[in-house]
A and B are shown apart, each in its own frame.
Chain A
Amino acid sequence: MMEKMIIGRYVPAESLIHRMDPRSKLIIIFLFVCIIFLANNMLTYVLIGIYTFLMLGLSRIPFRFLYAGLKPVLWLVLFTLLLQVFFTKDGSLLYELGPIKIYEEGVRQGIFISMRFFFLILMTSLLTLTTTPIEITDGLETLLNPLKKVRFPVHEMALMMSISLRFIPTLMQETDKIMKAQIARGVEFSSGPVKERIKAVIPLLIPLFVSSFKRAEELAIAMEARGYRGGEGRTKYRLLRWKLADTMQLLILAILTILLILLRS
Chain B
Amino acid sequence: MRGEVFMRESIVSLKNVSFQYENQGRNALQNVSFDIFDGEWLAIVGHNGSGKSTMAKLLNGLQFPQQGEIMVCGIRLNEESIWEIRKKLGMVFQNPDNQFVGTTVQDDVAFGLENHGTPRDDMILRVEDSLKKVKMDHFLNQEPHHLSGGQKQRVAIAGVLALRPSIIILDEATSMLDPKGRGEVLETVRALKDEKSLTVISITHDLEEAAKADRIIVMNQGEVYREGTPEDIFSMDDELVQLGLDIPFSIKMSNAFRQKGIDLSKHYLSEEELVNELWTYRSKI
Instruction: List chain A positions with a Cβ less than 8 A from chain B.
Output: 134, 162-163, 165-166, 169-170, 173, 214-215, 218-219, 221-229, 233-239
Contact = CB atoms under 8 A, between A and B. Distances in A.
Interface residues of B, number: 39
A87 to B, nearest CB: 48
A237 B118 CA distance: 9
A233 B101 contact: no
Contacts of A233: 117
Contact of A236 (B83, B86, B98, B120): B120
Given A237-B107, A239-B120, A222 B115 contact: no
B43 interface: no
Contacts of B117: 233-235
A222 B93 contact: yes
Which residue, of B60, B119, B145, has the highest number of chain A Cβ atoms within 10 A?
B145
B99 A218 contact: yes
Shortest 8 CB-CB distances between A and B: which pairs?
Answer: A237-B110, A222-B99, A218-B98, A227-B115, A169-B145, A226-B112, A225-B91, A166-B103
Contact of A237 (B93, B97, B100, B106): B106
B205 interface: no
Contacts of A222: 91, 93, 98-99, 101
B114 A235 contact: yes
B120 A237 contact: yes
Interface in B61-115: 62, 83, 86-87, 90-91, 93, 95, 97-103, 106-107, 110-115
A212 to B, nearest CB: 10
Nearest to B156: A222
Nearest to A238: B107
Nearest to B110: A237
B127 interface: yes
Contacts, number: 92
Contacts of A225: 60, 62, 86, 90-91, 93
Nearest to A217: B98
Contacts of A166: 100-103, 143-144
26 contacts: A165-B103, A166-B100, A166-B102, A169-B144, A214-B98, A218-B93, A218-B95, A218-B98, A222-B91, A222-B93, A223-B101, A225-B62, A225-B91, A226-B163, A227-B86, A227-B115, A227-B116, A228-B115, A233-B117, A234-B115, A235-B117, A235-B119, A236-B120, A237-B106, A237-B107, A237-B110
Nearest to A211: B98
B145 A221 contact: no
A10 to B, nearest CB: 12
A187 to B, nearest CB: 25
A239 B112 CA distance: 17
Contact of A219 (B57, B98, B110, B116): B98
Contact of A170 (B106, B110, B144): B144
| A134, A165, A219, A225, most chain B CB atoms within 10 A | A225
Given A170-B97, A221-B62, A236-B114, A226 B86 contact: yes
B97 A234 contact: no
A233 B116 CA distance: 8
A123 B75 CA distance: 57
Interface in B44-67: 57, 60, 62
A170 B145 CA distance: 6
Nearest to A216: B98
B120 A227 contact: no
Contacts of B116: 227
Contact of A224 (B62, B95, B102): B62
Contacts of A221: 57, 62, 93
Contacts of B177: none
A236 B116 CA distance: 10
Contacts of B107: 134, 237-238
B152 to A, nearest CB: 11
A134 B144 CA distance: 14
Contacts of B57: 221
Given A215-B97, A218-B98, A218-B99, A229 B145 contact: no
B123 interface: yes
A239 B93 CA distance: 29
A173 B149 CA distance: 14
Contacts of B39: none
Interface string B107-144: 10011111111111001100100000000000000011
B62 A237 contact: no
Nearest to B98: A218
B145 A173 contact: yes
